[in-house]
Amino acid sequence: MKNILNFPSPLVKLSSDFLFEKAVNLWMKREDLIHPQLSGNKWRKLEFNLEEMRRQRKKGILTFGGAYSNHIYATAAAGQLFDFSTIGIIRGEETLPLNPTLAFARQAGMQLEYLNRTTYRDKEKLTKIYQSRYPDYYLLPEGGTNIHAIPGSARTAAEIVEQLPLLPDYICLACGTGGTLAGIVAGLDGVSEVLGFSVLKGDFHQRDIRELLTNANIRDPENWSINTEYHFGGYARRTPELDKFIADFKKEYDIPLEWIYTGKLMYGVFDLIEKGVFPKGSNIVVIHTGGIR
Ligand SMILES: *Cc1c(COP(=O)(O)O)cnc(C)c1O
């Protein structure tokens, strides 16, 4: 089933006068090129969850997300491509016409249900309600983040180590739930420092990621941190400055970014390079986690 997906995803070196002047080496792991609909980290997190779903002999996946969720989109696409049923529990009220994410999900065969924000927040209650309502479905938390997401994301890290002729000093990626970062940390086991750039307000990541690693029985190498300086006001918030950065980046490197995750990541990384935070000669890998469509 995996032969329609592009593995290993390409690792490309970025070059520009700016990077040359700052004397840092920068590579980008193009997880956005894995598949047009199963792009990036969402496929990595799904892969071993699909195995778990089959092992439990469930007929499909029931999962949760906001109306613009990349995870909802990717799960619907995976259901269609690999032939299993999908149910998406969407936070908030139904709005018609459906936005492009939900229109795609429905067209891919996902059954959509809506849930008020208060109940949505109570994760334990959610599990109880939906497990008894849909006993044939494998429940996957929001963002696809759980212990089975880790081995897939760890593959990204292993591929980087295989593809790069030297060991990276830093690996940088955007963080929503932090599930992808947990997998990267697990896959590297201490060879590089991992920098997560939070796209949300708040500082729950440290705790959530530690808890996830513990639940997955993975030793925490503790060489990772979360930068909370580049969320631009919170999840899915954007500013003209961020939009301009994304447009300029496309012109200079011919690589598309979006404003929810990878735009904020690259803005942050370039700002830290500009400020001289990475020592001269540093080998830095950024992960393009996808989200382009
Ligand atoms: C979901 C998503 C993330 C965040 O991944 P987490 O594992 O939740 O931290 C980052 N980038 C893109 C493009 C995403 O869609």
Does residue 2 surpass a pLDDT of 80?
no
Q: How many helices (H) and strands (E) does the chain have?
A: 11, 10
| The pLDDT value given to residue 39 | 86
Does residue 3 surpass a pLDDT of 80?
no
Domains of the chain: 2-37+150-288 (3.40.50.1100), 40-144 (3.40.50.1100)
Contact 232, 238 (CB under 8 A): yes
Tokens 């309600």 belong to: 129
Does residue 293 surpass a pLDDT of 90?
no
Number of Cβ atoms within 10 Å of the Cβ of 177? 22
Distance CA 223, CA 188 (A): 10
Locate 253 and state its tokens: 């490197």
Work out the average pLDDT over 252-281.
98
CA of 3 to the centre of ligand 1 (A): 23
| The pLDDT value given to residue 179 | 98
**The amino acid at 209:** I
Does the global pTM surpass 0.85? yes
Atom of ligand 1 nearest to the CA of 149: 7
Work out the average pLDDT over 225-233.
97
Contact 126, 119 (CB under 8 A): yes
| The pLDDT value given to residue 286 | 98
CA of 230 to the centre of ligand 1 (A): 15
| The pLDDT value given to residue 203 | 87
Residues 6 or more apart from 96 whose CB is under 8 A from it? none
Work out the average pLDDT over 20-38.
97
Shortest-distance Cα residue to atom 4 of ligand 1: 176
Atom of ligand 1 nearest to the CA of 196: 9
Residues 6 or more apart from 204 whose CB is under 8 A from it? none
Distance CA 293, CA 85 (A): 23
Does residue 122 surpass a pLDDT of 90?
yes
CA of 157 to the centre of ligand 1 (A): 15
Pocket test for ligand 1, best of 200, 261, 269, 293 (most atoms within 8 A of CB): 261
Distance CA 287, CA 293 (A): 17
Atom of ligand 1 nearest to the CA of 183: 7
Burial pattern 21-32, b for ≥16 Cβ within 10 A else e, equals ebebbbbbbbbb
**The amino acid at 255:** I
| The pLDDT value given to residue 189 | 85
Work out the average pLDDT over 20-44.
96
Pocket test for ligand 1, best of 68, 148, 180 (most atoms within 8 A of CB): 180
pLDDT per position as a tens digit, 91-104: 999 999 999 999 99
Ligand 1: residues with CB < 6 A are 40-42, 70-71, 143, 145, 174-181, 261-262, 289-291
| The pLDDT value given to residue 1 | 53
How far, CA to CA in Å, does 273 sit from each of 103, 177, 250?
Answer: 39, 25, 18
Summarize the chain as % helix, strand, coil (round to 5).
45, 20, 35
Atom of ligand 1 nearest to the CA of 261: 11
Atom of ligand 1 nearest to the CA of 178: 9
pLDDT per position as a tens digit, 165-187: 999 999 999 999 999 999 999 99
CA of 261 to the centre of ligand 1 (A): 7
